[in-house]
Amino acid sequence: MKIAVLASGSGTILDAMVGCGIDVSLVLVDRPCKAEGLSIDHGIALSSCYRRDFSRSFDRVGYTNDVLFELVANGIELIAMAGYGTILEEPIHERYAGRILNTHPSLLPAFAGWHAVSEALKYGVRVTGCTVHLATLAVDAGPILAQEAIEVNYGDDESSLHERIKKVERRLYPQTVAAYNDYLDTNFGGSFFEYQKMIHDANSLGKTREKR
């Protein structure tokens, strides 16, 4: 199954995935970043789909369609978000429903959003963690695939806590991606088109029931 990793930063998750034996077919980035160099080092195809506009008038749907074009053109069947800095819109979730994985530095549904680590410290929780989930249009709200708890130590600051979370993330995320990939292979024979037909049929059935 052809897997794409979407990244915006250092590429440590990408490196961990490759190190775990995951066959990454494409790395797509939304800005210049170290992940580009890692993709070249590992001999992985690279798509530099740079976001040029960071204003409030940013055409998020248009940009999402640009990303979607690159993914479809490369025959991608499964997507792993790896610190990707741009929230994508509905078109990609329609095309890849149930095929986009993401990781988050908290035990969702607690502390969703961009400031999960600092908020965990602010609220004084003694345990936080890492969550791997399916990405949906609603941010950090998709079905949870895996979680691991991490104790918050006395004296932790955002940097020290986040680093321990990242250490778990670099192990848990590749394991979950590999397991989910195996699940899709087993249940759908690796056929993206068969999977999409199932999703379409389920959605159609749901709409028929609503009309009744």
Residue 190 has pLDDT above 80, yes or no: no
Strand order in the sheet with 24-29: 45-48, 24-29, 3-7, 78-82, 100-104, 127-134, 144-151
The β-bridge relationship of strands 127-134 and 100-104 is: antiparallel
Residues assigned a catalytic role: 104
Beta-bridge partner residues of 79: 4, 100
Which of 99, 82, 85, 108 has its CA nearest to residue 166? Answer: 82
**Torsions phi, psi for 139 (to 5 deg):** -65, 130
Residues 52-72: pLDDT tens digits? 999 999 999 999 999 999 999
Cα–Cα distances in angstroms (integers) from residue 86 to residues 21, 54, 83, 116, in the given order: 27, 10, 9, 17
**What CATH number did the domain enclosing 167 receive?**
3.40.50.170
Give the domain range for residue 180. Answer: 3-211
Instruction: Report if pTM > 0.95.
Output: no
How many structural domains comprise the chain? 1
Residues 94-143: pLDDT tens digits? 999 999 999 999 999 999 999 999 999 999 999 999 999 999 999 999 99
Rounded to an integer, what distance in angstroms lies between the CA atom of residue 77 and that of residue 99?
A: 7
